[in-house]
Amino acid sequence: MLHIPLPPDFPPPPPPEDRDGRGVWFEKAFGAIDQDGDGLISKEEMMAAIRARREARHARHDGGEGEGLSADHPELAGLPEPPPCGDDLRTSELGVQEANKACEGSESVGNLIFRTVCNAEPYNSEAISLPPDRAADCFDIEAIRGSGITFEIIEESTGNVVFNTIEGPDQFKRLVLTGGPSGTVYRIVLLSGDSPDASITVRFIDHPTF
């Protein structure tokens, strides 16, 4: 897995057509981790970045920003509600929603995939399985029902959290997951919802690694 722990307030990259801007952005992103400026990211620098993100996450939670996503939030109010959870929905989401889908926020072109998680077992966790040399990015919310919704994405084999909703929408939209040399399984796990029928559908682009 390749997951670069950028600072929580780090801006998202410019659109793909702004190649000069993206080049500058990547240099700044690398520099945000490469604290000693030697052109390499050491284990110590990576761990320091991970600790900084964890501390920022806790600070935001302590400051009352951990109330979760709500269908009546202005940025989400226009979204549809997910279909009812069940085996039929789970099976339908194993397929591709749209092929050759371009991402507006990156150069990715691939398969548009949906994953819906609900506030009821066993549908509160769904897998994202990435074979070798495949990646997933362009994450966003496709549909939502209810309020107080929080979720996280973990690497199944280690339990490492690669995203939690408390990190905010910008961090979610620039999240990149990779299959690595042997393939990797991630899981979207619904952590909370204010009603039994609370649910959320996540969308992303599955594509070959660059």
In this prediction, residue 51 carries a pLDDT of 66
pTM: 0.71
In this prediction, residue 1 carries a pLDDT of 39
In this prediction, residue 101 carries a pLDDT of 93
59 in any annotated domain: no
In this prediction, residue 108 carries a pLDDT of 82
In this prediction, residue 202 carries a pLDDT of 97
3 in any annotated domain: no
19 in any annotated domain: no
Mean pLDDT per 10-residue section of the chain, whose length is 210 residues = 57 67 78 81 73 57 62 92 95 95 84 96 94 93 95 89 89 90 93 92 91
What long-range pairs does 163-172 form, CB within 8 A, spacing at least 24?
163/139, 164/57, 165/68, 165/69, 165/191, 166/57, 166/60, 166/61, 166/65, 166/66, 167/8, 167/53, 167/57, 168/8, 168/60, 169/75, 170/11, 170/12, 171/6, 171/8, 172/139, 172/140
In this prediction, residue 199 carries a pLDDT of 96
- Which residue segment(s) compose the domain that 94 sits in? 87-208
In this prediction, residue 210 carries a pLDDT of 67
198 in any annotated domain: yes
106 in any annotated domain: yes
Q: How many domains does the chain have?
A: 1
What CATH number should be reported for the domain holding residue 127? Answer: 2.60.120
49 in any annotated domain: no
